[in-house]
Amino acid sequence: MSGVELVLRSTRVVTPDGTRPAVVTVRGGTIEAVLPYDAELPAGARLEDVGDHAVLPGLVDTHVHVNDPGRTEWEGFWTATRAAAAGGITTLIDMPLNSLPPTTTVNHLRVKRAVAREKAHVDVGFWGGALPDNTEELRPLHDAGVFGFKCFLSPSGVDEFPQLDRERLTAALTEIARFDGLLIVHAEDPGRLDAAPQRGGGAYADFLASRPREAENAAIRTLIDQARRLDARVHVLHLSSSDALPLIAEARREGVRITAESCPHFLTLTAEEVPDGATEFKCCPPIREAANQDALWQGLTDGTIDCVVSDHSPSTPELKTPDFATAWGGISSLQLGLPAVWTEARRRGRTLDDVARWMSTAPAALAGLTRKGAIEAGRDADFAVLAPDETFTVDPAALHHRNRITAYAGRTLHGVVTATWLRGSRIADRGTPAAPSGRLLERNQ
């Protein structure tokens, strides 16, 4: 007996060395080997031949607001992880805010883990939160297995998760640097936001003017200064302003430990096409102009932007009022990130290898998930099987997240996720999730 339980065969297996015809053998939920396409198959193993569908490493989405417990009418672990599985995501890391309690103490983390355990259709980990008054909680949270700490430099949108001013940012970062943890940052400068025109209403141009690029650029400058001074590890969340790319690139050249992510909506949607009053497109920082988007793609190409993750941040429909100033800010895209990004990537001449790097390998590396993020021996047998040339039109009724609102409704996208595999078991088939089999992950697992 070979002990191999599954053999996956495709003419397009996306490996760290490129995409090629191959068979992937799985034993005990782990990739045992990636063999030539015509290799002799181990006896007794189940063969899954997916033909010319591409096999990517399961996506790792490090930016998801699950909101459970406390705001489960917005989203919950059951619905979010079903949407993830249907969309080719095999690991998600939950943001520390919008749930009640927020993940800001070890006890709160225990509450969150207990709620997630039975509902997880994909593997789930947790970010902790850095608040003005919880600095002494950071090390215990780190020891309890959170992947790092999120903070805001401007108001978060929920009262229980206040932002850090410059002094409190220094205090948090000083503490996090003591154990070489990671601070992930919503980088918009509150002073620049206050100084911007706040007109309110349904006009997208007014909303865009209220969250200027300079707010992001200034906050990122502050962050770089602090990271340099304290030799701390920092990550810029949901980068929208392309003006900040040279700042980040220059800091890295100097050895500052800074990484950055952008999101499917910044890379596929433009300010020019957002209808007035269409607050399903509202997020902070905002979707900007087409020229800004071109520059973000250049940032992906040259490696200044490491990761592409969803920032799935849903709410109930009632909170998506037609006024951009008061509507809840957040775009729901968990199930659609892969086809959305692939549609634009292929149009721009990029490959599935690039997409796998941005949406799986790099986010896994950010979180230190050494068993995730690549199709190679010794990693978890997590796969997203994609029909890259098939198209579909986004129908909100086919989405599994709790409130079926999405900025992508009615769009025709390339790339149908035909199956998702987690540790060698199929967890979704043509958009239909199987029973939950996800695990809770801790840092350094």
Q: How far is the CB of 93 from Zn ion (least distance, A)?
A: 11
Residue 396 CB partners (closer than 8 Å, separation 6+): 404, 405, 406, 409
Distance CA 443, CA 149 (A): 12
Instruction: Residue 312: name the closest of 152, 3, 81, 150 by CA.
Output: 81
Q: How far is the CB of 272 from Zn ion (least distance, A)?
A: 24
Question: Of 311 and 344, which has the nearer Cβ to Zn ion?
Answer: 311
Instruction: Residue 305: name the closest of 369, 367, 364, 262 by CA.
Output: 262
Question: Of 188 and 311, which has the nearer Cβ to Zn ion?
Answer: 311
Task: Please choose, out of 137-145, 245-253, 278-286, 308-316, the segment that lies near Zn ion by the rule CB under 5 A.
Answer: 308-316
Can you give the length of the chain in residues?
Answer: 445
Backbone φ and ψ for 265, nearest 5 degrees, come out as -70, -35
**CB neighbour burial string for 338-357, b if at least 16 within 10 angstroms, e if fewer:** bbbbbbbbbeeebebbbbbb
Question: Of 280 and 311, which has the nearer Cβ to Zn ion?
Answer: 311
Q: How far is the CB of 436 from Zn ion (least distance, A)?
A: 24
Burial class of 142 by CB neighbour count within 10 A (0 to 12, 13 to 18, 19+): buried
Cβ–Cβ < 8 Å for 325, 198: yes
Task: Please choose, out of 39-47, 101-109, 187-195, 303-311, the segment that lies near Zn ion by the rule CB under 5 A.
Answer: 303-311
Question: Of 12 and 186, which has the nearer Cβ to Zn ion?
Answer: 186
Question: Of 150 and 192, which has the nearer Cβ to Zn ion?
Answer: 150
Distance CA 116, CA 112 (A): 6
Question: Of 94 and 137, which has the nearer Cβ to Zn ion?
Answer: 94
Continuous segment of H or E residues that includes residue 227: helix 213-230
**Which of 311, 344, 354, 380 contacts Zn ion by CB under 5 A?**
311
Question: Of 59 and 375, which has the nearer Cβ to Zn ion?
Answer: 59
The upper half-sphere exposure of residue 432, i.e. CA atoms within 13 Å in the direction of its Cβ, equals 2
Distance CA 31, CA 372 (A): 11
Q: How far is the CB of 284 from Zn ion (least distance, A)?
A: 9
Question: Of 185 and 394, which has the nearer Cβ to Zn ion?
Answer: 185
Q: What is the DSSP letter of 143?
A: H
Q: What is the DSSP letter of 331?
A: B
Q: How far is the CB of 261 from Zn ion (least distance, A)?
A: 10
In Å, how far are 13, 17, 197, 376, 389 from 52, measured between CA atoms? 9, 18, 52, 19, 10
Q: What is the DSSP string of 82-138?
A: HHHHHTTEEEEEE-SSSSSS-S-SHHHHHHHHHHHHTT-SSEEEE-EE--TT-GGGH
Q: How far is the CB of 185 from Zn ion (least distance, A)?
A: 11
> How is residue 412 written in tokens?
């025709």
Q: How far is the CB of 330 from Zn ion (least distance, A)?
A: 7
Helices 245-253 and 290-301 pack at an angle, to 10 degrees, of 20
Distance CA 55, CA 14 (A): 6
Question: Of 122 and 237, which has the nearer Cβ to Zn ion?
Answer: 237
Burial class of 197 by CB neighbour count within 10 A (0 to 12, 13 to 18, 19+): exposed
Q: Of residues 10-49, which lie at the interface with Zn ion (CB under 5 A)?
A: none
Size of the site for Zn ion (CB under 5 A): 1
Q: How far is the CB of 351 from Zn ion (least distance, A)?
A: 28
Q: How far is the CB of 331 from Zn ion (least distance, A)?
A: 10
Q: Which residue is nearest to Zn ion (CB)?
A: 311
Print the binding letters for residues 258-297 with Zn ion: x by CB under 5 A, - otherwise. ----------------------------------------
Q: If binding is defined by CB under 5 A, does position 61 make contact with Zn ion? A: no
Task: Please choose, out of 189-197, 260-268, 272-280, 305-313, the segment that lies near Zn ion by the rule CB under 5 A.
Answer: 305-313
Print the binding letters for residues 93-112 with Zn ion: x by CB under 5 A, - otherwise. --------------------
Print the binding letters for residues 170-209 with Zn ion: x by CB under 5 A, - otherwise. ----------------------------------------
Question: Of 187 and 416, which has the nearer Cβ to Zn ion?
Answer: 187
Q: How far is the CB of 146 from Zn ion (least distance, A)?
A: 16
Q: How far is the CB of 24 from Zn ion (least distance, A)?
A: 33
Contact footprint for Zn ion (CB under 5 A): 311
